[in-house]
Structure 1
């Protein structure tokens, strides 16, 4: 059966950008930049983009285009002993899909809440108490009851992903991203166009971009820059490998990879202007220092910014537009995550796309119910920490070690160059074999050391052991078991 293909180059690029541009661009990047030297942070950040982000993206586009299958099949083609790494990446995507969709459901709910600012004057109490029903126990294992009001938006979020993966590459994923991505950029630009003219907004933006060059010499700042690049570009966990496997025979790999990475990082900077403009206005309106109102993560999106929206002119318009932008960014990423799993399962099981997407989205919906319980936020927090800071970075490192040191890297460079308008040379080989690997070793070692030194989030030893390290151990065992089974089947 002939493999599906993207209908147009623009469709592929928009889908790849849609995968890379997610919630983290809006609520993580601005704070990371602010915390790590402001304008000075862009020096290591752009260096990381050129020496890790774009080279890694070119590598994954090349592998996907060359082998034309999901991540497990690609890793198996590189070295039969490493098929397990492909399945480990697929499981990373599956677990992220299970909890990421819940944050999209929150954003969908907040589109409605924002019309009349239903969160009231205390957005913190509303989000953690009334909306999530978070109990006083700091225990991810204490799930409590289901929050039934989160079920409809959760169904909507899964329905969008199911439609895209069921309809396929050209009829679902490409069509949806051709609508979502332009709308997302338009929404953010409209919001910026209004917010930058508010009093204090420019001061907030200056806070983010004001350079502190003393931090340039801090290794932690460079680690943060590389960590943000690996975090934001959707590399290392099956997505870009799967997307690139649907590229037509004649595809400009180097250009496509560079455009995707640059558009993602450009959106992050634009999102930073939006967020810090709003925070600057909020700080002035409340007569506070910006340091007193700035935050990151879900607290920024669902606590701090709702409080800022209360102060905005026409909050019933600005608020829904902001959360609609979050929904669009989330759904485009979630579709790509689900497709990474779908592609791997289709290749392994020989199932049709319709059957595979139905089974995965059905199972995913059931599992995601765990995260809309009263303790769901804590469970999400713990799982997300270990998946993103340990499993994902470990997967990136192993993939680069395999391709850079156990394969002939020059062959992949030649494959990409033969199809591309501009060629990459020795710098690309150096970035893959040395720079990216060295930075990943530093970041991953620091994360593992930090996880052992101090229990993340103050969670108990047993929860860290079983729900954090235990989850990664189970993923490894399952991946290696599948690899072993495949070897036995091949030898029969």
Structure 2
């Protein structure tokens, strides 16, 4: 059976950008920039983009295109002993898909709440208490009751992903990203244009971009820049390998990679302007310093910004548009995460797209119910920490070691250059083999050391070991078991 293909280069790039552009661009990048030297942070960030982000993206586009398979078959083609790594990456995507969709469900709910600012004057109590019903116990394993108010938005989020993946590469994923991505950029540009003229907004934007060049010499700032690049580009956990496997035979790999990374980073800048403009206006309206209102993550999106929306002119318009932007960014990423898993199942089991999509989305929906319980936020927080800070970085590192040191990296270089308008030279080889590997070693070592030194989130030891490390252990055992079974089959 012939493999599906993207209908156009534009469709592929928009889908790849849709995968890379996610909730982290909106609620993580602005705060990381502000905290690490403002405008001066863009120097290490640009360096990280050129020496890690673009080279890694070129590698994944090349591997996916060359071997025409998802992560397990692609990595097995490099070295049959490493099929397990591909399955480990697929499992990372599967776990992320099950909790990431819950945040999209929150954003869908807040689109409705924003019309009348249902969160009232105390957005903190509303989000954690009224909306999530968070338990007072700081224990992720104590889930409590299901939050029925989240069942409908969760179903809507899964339905969008199911329709896109069920309908295929051209008919589903490409079409929906051709709609979502332009709309997302237009929404953000409109919000920027409206917010920028409000009192204090420019002060907020200046807070984010004001350079503190003394921080350039701080190794933690460089580590944060590389960490942001690895977190935001959807590399290292099966997504880009899957997407690139559907590229037509004649595809400009190098240009596609550059455009995907640059558009993703450009969106991060726009998101930063939007968020800090709103925070600047909020600080001005409340007569407080920006440092007292700035935050990141879930707290920024669902606590701080709703408070800012209360103060905005026409909040019943601006609020829904902001949360609609969050929904668009989340859905486009979730589709790509699901597709990474579905491609692995199709390649391994020989299933058609309809079977693989139906099975994964059904099981994923059932598992994601764990995260819409009273203790769901705590479970999401702990799982996300170990997936992003340990499993994902470890998968990135092993993939680079495999491709850069155990294979002929120059073969992949020639494959990409043969198809591309501009060629990548020795700088690409050096970045893959040394720069990216070295930075990932440092990041992973520090994260693992930090995880053992202090209990993340103040959670109890047994929660950390059984949920955090236990989850990673189970994923590794399953991946190695599949690898062993595959090698046994090949001998028979």
TM-score range relative to shorter protein: over 0.9
Report what 2:377 is aligned to. 377
Distance across 2 between alignment mates of 1:325 and 1:91: 28
Deviations 1:330-356 (A, max 9, x none): 000000000000000010011110011
Residues 1:10 and 2:25 are matched in the alignment? no
Q: 1:50 aligns to what? A: 50
Contiguous gaps of at least 5 residues in structure 2: none
- Looking at structure 1, the residues matched to 303 and 34 of structure 2 have their Cα atoms a distance apart, in angstroms, of 19
Q: Aligned equivalents of 2:61 and 2:210: distance in 1?
A: 36
Aligned to 1:454: 454
Structure-1 residue corresponding to 2:30 = 30
Deviation at 1:122, TM superposition (A): 0.1
* 1:216 alignment counterpart: 216
Instruction: Measure the CA separation in 1 of the matches of 2:32 and 2:470.
Output: 29
2:406 counterpart residue number: 406
Shift of 1:17: 0.1
- 1:59 is matched with 59
Partner of 1:432: 432
Q: 2:134 matched to 1:134? A: yes
How far did 1:236 drift? 0.1
Question: Distance in 1 between the 2:352 and 2:432 partners?
Answer: 35
1:78 aligns with 2:78: yes
Aligned-pair distance for 1:328? 0.1
- Quote how far apart the aligned CAs of 1:401 are: 0.3
Instruction: State the partner residue of 1:299.
Output: 299
Aligned pair count reads 492
**Whole-Å Cα distance in 2 between the matches of residues 92 and 168 of structure 1?**
22
Write out per-residue CA displacement over residues 141-171 of structure 1, whole angstroms, 9 at most, x where no aligned residue.
0100000010000000000000011000000
Q: Does 1:165 align with 2:161?
A: no
Shift of 1:2: 0.2
Q: What displacement does 1:284 show?
A: 0.4
SS in 2 for 1:247: coil
> Normalized against structure 2, the TM-score is what?
1.00
Distance 2:306 2:281 in 1: 13
Q: CA-to-partner distance for each residue in 1:53-85, whole Å, 9 max, x for gaps?
A: 000000000000000011000000000000000
Deviations 1:27-70 (A, max 9, x none): 00000000000000000000000000000000000000000011
Once the two structures are superposed, what CA deviation does each residue of 1:336-389 show, in whole Å capped at 9, x if it has no partner? 000000000010011110011000000000000000000000000000000000
Please give the residue correspondences for 1:302-451 in structure 2 after superposition, counting only pairs within 5 Å: 302-451=302-451
Q: How does 1:75-154 map to 2 (within 5 A)?
A: 75-154=75-154
Work out the CA distance in 2 between the residues paired with 1:446 and 1:38: 24
Q: CA deviation at 1:91?
A: 0.1
Secondary structure of 1:49's aligned partner:
helix
2:477 aligns with: 477
How far apart, CA to CA, are the structure 1 residues paired with 2:490 and 2:69? Answer: 18
Query: How many angstroms does 1:252 deviate by?
Result: 0.2
Alpha-carbon distance, 1:481 to partner: 0.2
Within-5 A mapping of 1:222-261: 222-261=222-261
Q: How far off its partner does 1:111 sit?
A: 0.2
- Residues in 1 aligned to 2:308 and 2:95: alpha-carbon distance in whole angstroms: 32
- What is the rounded CA distance, in whole Å, between the counterparts of 1:207 and 1:12 in structure 2? 36
Compute the displacement of 1:287 (Å): 0.5
CA distance in structure 1 between the partners assigned to 2:166 and 2:255 by the alignment: 29
1:189 offset after TM fit, Å?
0.3
Q: C-alpha deviations, 1:192-243, integer Å up to 9, x for none?
A: 0000000000000000000000100000000000000000000000000000
Q: Which residue of 1 aligns with 2:463?
A: 463
Post-superposition offset of 1:449:
0.6
Question: 1:253 deviation in Å?
Answer: 0.1
Give the secondary structure class of the aligned counterpart of 1:7.
coil
Distance 1:174 1:210 in 2: 38
Between the aligned partners of 1:232 and 1:136, the Cα distance in structure 2 is 32
Measure, in 2, the Cα distance between the counterparts of 1:206 and 1:240. 35
* Residues 374-425 of structure 1: CA deviation (Å, up to 9, x unaligned): 0000000000000000000000000000000000000000000000000000
Deviation at 1:10, TM superposition (A): 0.1
